[in-house]
DNA sequence: CTGATTTTGACAATTTTTTGACAAATCGTT
DNA sequence: AACGATTTGTCAAAAAATTGTCAAAATCAG
């Protein structure tokens, strides 16, 4: 889940934005002035900062500059009320990644946030293709073959296999699966994991009753072997 | 990796841009005046030039003209502070490929760079004409035929098909479509993508209910197969 | 202004995910 | 080896989420 710091002195606007962001499953911290923001930023890791340009104590521009001067590179989206303020401010010297002027639609704000987060966080080490036994998988084309015949995997099944492959040989507990594959905003039971293992075995094992790749480690979890 | 030459006399701006570009995995060379730029360009191959309009020695416009006169065709993006300067630039005689006025956000600059590099690499390996099933498309003339009968495609539909063809077999998420086909300053919902797929299917599939070319990959996106 | 295109929103159809019940297997303890 | 407690395998139905579809609203180009 992405963590966003919202810096805005108008309480009503702050609340509105916070609620929208939360409904999109972002975690939001809010402050109403830039010195509080400055502290928060130093004590916490944010994925993105939403910064209103007019703040009581330190100006938003100053905060932005200060952060960049410290080589803090969290993406920053500036929010301004007046178009002509941008001119003074958003110039690149300041180091904001994007800006949006009031009034803006929530949809646009959310879209901009999403666009920036997407750009920043791309998966570093993902195998695009992988094969084991008589199974081969193309994670870019989302195609899986067993003995050259296509098998149908759901999106979650692809994710699980991908995770397994990245952690080959390692025993993964059901809880870890739920954390890492499902994420922090979904809470199925651990039985859900078993069921996915079951269906994956049916699809990729020669003999699902005697799995060679998706191995049960009793009372611990499952592991993948090539 | 793409190689970019950044010509900008303000050191702060130069650094900010350079860092952003590098974080996007571009290789960046920087100079602060146009005669240095001129030499660099002759001794090296750049994929793109970012040129500030106000430079100490030679004017950016002059540099641009000079390069074009030598038939050097590297794409050039002009950066200007004042809106009225654009007029000088756009007049095509200068030969810049795009321009951007200060203030601008990093996101916009990166988007424009991406767009131009994409366009160029597309021109290089151009599928000007393409056919699949009983459909053939001429992307230069913007004409599409199905069983030799013309079908009417909108500009967006052409762009989508073109994007699909460039990424044949690959599954494209709705978000990626919005980024790459719609661009950086428009924020439709992901449902818009579905609707375009729908209308494209009606036009190019024999049986739109059972598409053979525009395939849904549930929970991931769509892919094109020949 | 008009007509075409793009975008949204509602609802239906489809697919996937999750749950829960029960059987089978495992483990530690007699 | 047998027992009981716990964990895992298995299946199918329920719940949830995604996509297909259409039409109306908004936007854009001429």
Q: Inter-chain contact A115–B184, Cβ cutoff 8 Å?
A: yes
* Strand nucleotide closest to residue A197 (CA to C1'): D9
Q: How far is CA A113 from CA A14, A20, B54, B147, in A?
A: 16, 12, 32, 44
SS3 B5: strand
Pick the more confident residue, A94 or B115: B115
A107-140 pLDDT, tens per residue?
A: 888 888 988 887 765 554 567 899 999 999 999 9
Does residue A76 contact residue A96 with C-beta atoms inside 8 Å? Answer: yes
- Cα–Cα distance between B164 and B222 in angstroms, integer? 9
Token output for B139:
């992307």
Contact (CB<8Å) B103/A91: yes
* Nearest chain A alpha carbon to B225: A141
CA neighbor of B171 nearest in space, from B203, B216, B226, B114: B216
Q: How confident is the model over B82-134, as pLDDT tens digits?
A: 555 555 545 445 667 777 766 677 888 888 888 888 777 766 666 689 999 99
Model pLDDT for residues A161-216, shown as the tens digit of each residue: 999 999 999 999 999 999 999 987 889 999 999 999 999 999 999 999 999 999 99
- Give the pLDDT confidence score for residue B91 in this predicted structure: 42
Angle formed at CA A22 by CA A57 and CA A30, multiple of 5 degrees: 15
Written as one string, the DSSP assignment of B184-204 is TT----HHHHHHHHHHHHHHH
pLDDT tens by residue, B72-83: 989 988 887 655
Minimum CA–CA partner of A87 in chain B: B103
Cα of first residue to Cα of last residue in chain A, in angstroms, is 31
**Which residues 6+ apart lie within 8 Å of A122 measured at CB?**
none
* Residue A106: pLDDT over 60: yes
Share of chain A above pLDDT 90, in %: 54
Q: β-strand A214-217 against A221-224: which pairing, if any? A: antiparallel
Mean predicted confidence (pLDDT) in A22-40: 90
Q: How many CB atoms lie within 10 A of CB B171?
A: 22
**Contacts of residue B16 in chain A, CB cutoff 8 Å?**
68, 92-93, 95
Average pLDDT over residues B191-205: 97
DSSP state of A209: T
* pTM (two decimals): 0.86
- Kindly give the pairing relationship between strand B98-101 and strand B76-80: parallel
Q: Is the peptide bond before B103 cis (omega within 30 degrees of 0)?
A: yes
CB A5 within 8 A of CB A46: yes
pLDDT of residue B173: 95
Average pLDDT over residues B20-38: 91
């Amino acid at each position: 889940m992405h963590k966003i710091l919202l810096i805005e002195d108008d309480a009503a606007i702050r609340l509105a934005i916070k609620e929208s962001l939360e409904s999109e499953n972002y975690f939001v911290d809010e402050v109403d002035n830039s010195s509080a923001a400055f502290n928060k930023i130093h004590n916490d890791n944010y994925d993105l900062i939403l910064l209103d340009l007019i703040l009581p104590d330190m100006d938003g521009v100053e905060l932005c500059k200060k952060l960049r001067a410290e080589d803090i590179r969290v993406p920053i989206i500036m929010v301004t009320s007046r178009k002509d303020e941008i001119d003074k401010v958003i110039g690149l010297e300041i180091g904001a990644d994007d800006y949006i002027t009031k009034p803006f639609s929530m949809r646009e704000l959310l879209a901009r946030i999403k666009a920036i987060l997407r750009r920043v966080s791309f998966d570093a080490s993902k195998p695009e293709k992988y094969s084991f036994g008589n199974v081969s998988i193309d994670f870019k084309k989302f195609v899986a073959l067993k003995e050259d015949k296509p098998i149908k995997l759901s999106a979650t099944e692809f994710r699980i296999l991908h995770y397994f492959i990245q952690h080959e040989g390692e025993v993964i507990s059901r809880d870890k699966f739920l954390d890492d594959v499902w994420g922090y905003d979904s809470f199925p039971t651990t039985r859900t994991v078993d069921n996915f293992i079951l269906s994956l075995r049916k699809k990729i094992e020669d003999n699902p009753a005697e799995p060679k790749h998706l191995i049960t480690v009793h009372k611990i979890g499952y592991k993948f072997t090539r």
